[in-house]
Structure 1
């Protein structure tokens, strides 16, 4: 089904929707934000008032079944992604779900199956796939700028922040795992976008600092379908914040961060070259533009789907499974 204009509803209008995502639905051509939902009605009402959204709900079922809504953006913790995605699919609504796609790979498969049966698209909010910064890296790779890619490495660590209450992001029953699921998922997904799917993976996960039940360090190695090798280290109780990825080839390498705004650096025998990009005000907007163009039949194919999002969940599951088998 193609839409003249895509009318969106948001389930879970929390912090991520204030700037990162919510305004994008109102700014993209042929797109409008019709309704928002939050369990605390007063907070939903306040969001709707501040963002000039016509309707608000305190019940997800009512929003999903609103006939004025064509597509549902699920911006809740992963615990409820599967439930709401299946409800939206059964209501015939297009689904856009936050990352990670679900708490585990099994849940992603149930979401995909439900959307396939209903004949509705399923998109995942790995929005970096549409941002100019990462599209540029993919262009460099496709132009054979560093020759044949040999391996990729990711090193990401940050200082531990101790909070009075344990946040949902480090409660496995709500998030699927710890900050590895919340943050490393972006890196693993963008590597899938840049060099292709991972076909084999091994990992070690531990909790070294002991501040919460979830893992706080993960190291892993993986083999991509293309034959490229990869290694990754993620630690969330270190002394500083570091975020660096390298894609190394037969003729050079590309260095970039997942979360920072430092330049992309190309290093070859000829020296170095850099590219800088201003971060989008609303980081979801480039991806929302592609989704809306696809839904309205104006062209474009969304690069972040349930199928690609599920692959990242599978990789993460494989890397932490021994930790949660204890």
Structure 2
């Protein structure tokens, strides 16, 4: 292990930890996972054994205090993150938090201020922008592939958050848990869209709860819920042009991801049959005034320099996460800010607030 190796302590041993974080970190020589903590000693030891992690804790605060942990990754449910992230910051550790950073904008703003005051590095898990196709699309637009952006349209349709869900995720029924279509899919994919075409300026939105009664699959217990499952928004971009958004959860036949960007000189389309936990990267199609036939969309292969990971055998959603960690390692080495940070999280919180507030005005 070199002096540059970043020693990681993982808090949380759920599915995204074992499917995503630990396999992703295991492919990167810059990192060494030295400890894992979970709600029970048994769960921590199980994860430690499966991934050859030296230490397992039932007490997350002991992991945070461990002198050989450089980066604390907080991968617990959103409502449990604030005290753990605070403790990591106060211990002077760099800290990773999943998105959403917290359940409330004010709490996320506080964590950002604390991290900046303490001088620790911070990462938020908005990893979708790190995928090769997303980064290539950003660069194509920046280089003028479509010319001046006239309009950008994004549609995200998923089978997640249906009206009947298993007991283990029934905690998401409460809108205060901030785990729904707008917060999760809006947070991730609007981040992708606006890092490609630039930030939004003005917007108007409608947020609907089309499944007001949710059911626990195992027991048939029903719960009244106000969490969003359908979102539509339109608006203007800071650098000109318009945008539109549709987010839909609980689809029986998921439509996946589609982004269309039109400009004065061309068109760029980004698609994926699955919006989340996808095995393949997004596909790019485009046409512009320099295209050979100049009339129809053609696939734009992503150049190999965008695929810089040492191991590309993992599902693409896990590779996105590996790209995020690799960006953080470069930031730490070079003093840059490639990786998404708590500042990006706060920006997404404010955007979601604007969408919800616009919808409330529309309904009034």
**TM-score normalized by the length of structure 2:** 0.81
Aligned to 1:189: 191
Residue 44 (structure 1) aligned with residue 44 (structure 2): yes
Question: By how many angstroms is 1:170 displaced?
Answer: 4.2
2:42 counterpart SS class: helix
Question: By how many angstroms is 1:64 displaced?
Answer: 0.9
Structure 2 CA distance, aligned partners of 1:130 and 1:6?
A: 20
Structure 2 CA distance, aligned partners of 1:150 and 1:98?
A: 33
2:164 counterpart SS class: coil
* 1:264 aligns with one of 268, 275, 284: 284
Q: Which runs of 5+ in 1 are unaligned?
A: none
2:323 counterpart SS class: helix
Question: By how many angstroms is 1:164 displaced?
Answer: 4.2
Aligned to 1:100: 100
* 2:266 aligns with one of 252, 255, 274: 252
1:169 and 1:182 in contact (8 A); partners too: no
Aligned to 1:130: 130
Structure 1 residues 132-184: Cα deviation after superposition (integer angstroms, max 9, x where no partner): 1111101211121111011211122234362243534443222x152221122
Structure 1 residues 299-320: Cα deviation after superposition (integer angstroms, max 9, x where no partner): 6532411112211111112212
Give the greater-gyration-radius structure (CA). 2
Residues 278-287 or 192-201, more deviating: 278-287
Q: Trace 1:147-162 onto structure 2 (pairs within 5 A).
A: 147-159=147-159, 160=162, 162=164
Structure 2 CA distance, aligned partners of 1:195 and 1:164?
A: 38
1:156 and 1:244 in contact (8 A); partners too: yes
1:219 counterpart SS class: strand
Structure 1 CA distance, aligned partners of 2:151 and 2:264?
A: 10
Residues 266-275 or 303-312, more deviating: 266-275
Q: 1:196 to 1:67 in 2, by over 3 A?
A: same
Residues 263-272 or 37-46, more deviating: 263-272
* 2:254 aligns with one of 219, 224, 241: 241
Aligned to 1:301: 337
Aligned to 1:288: 325
Aligned to 2:244: 231
Structure 1 CA distance, aligned partners of 2:80 and 2:360?
A: 23
Q: Which runs of 4+ in 1 moved over 6 A?
A: none
How many residue pairs end up in the alignment?
322
1:152 and 1:245 in contact (8 A); partners too: yes
2:7 counterpart SS class: strand
Question: By how many angstroms is 1:201 displaced?
Answer: 3.0
Q: 1:73 to 1:257 in 2, by over 3 A?
A: farther
Q: 1:90 to 1:199 in 2, by over 3 A?
A: farther
Q: Which runs of 5+ in 2 are unaligned?
A: 215-224, 303-311
Structure 1 CA distance, aligned partners of 2:43 and 2:360?
A: 37
Structure 1 residues 87-123: Cα deviation after superposition (integer angstroms, max 9, x where no partner): 1111101111111222232222111011011110111
Question: By how many angstroms is 1:27 displaced?
Answer: 2.5
1:102 and 1:313 in contact (8 A); partners too: no
Residues 249-258 or 139-148, more deviating: 249-258
Aligned to 1:90: 90
Question: By how many angstroms is 1:275 displaced?
Answer: 3.2
Structure 1 CA distance, aligned partners of 2:251 and 2:32?
A: 42
Structure 2 CA distance, aligned partners of 1:77 and 1:199?
A: 31
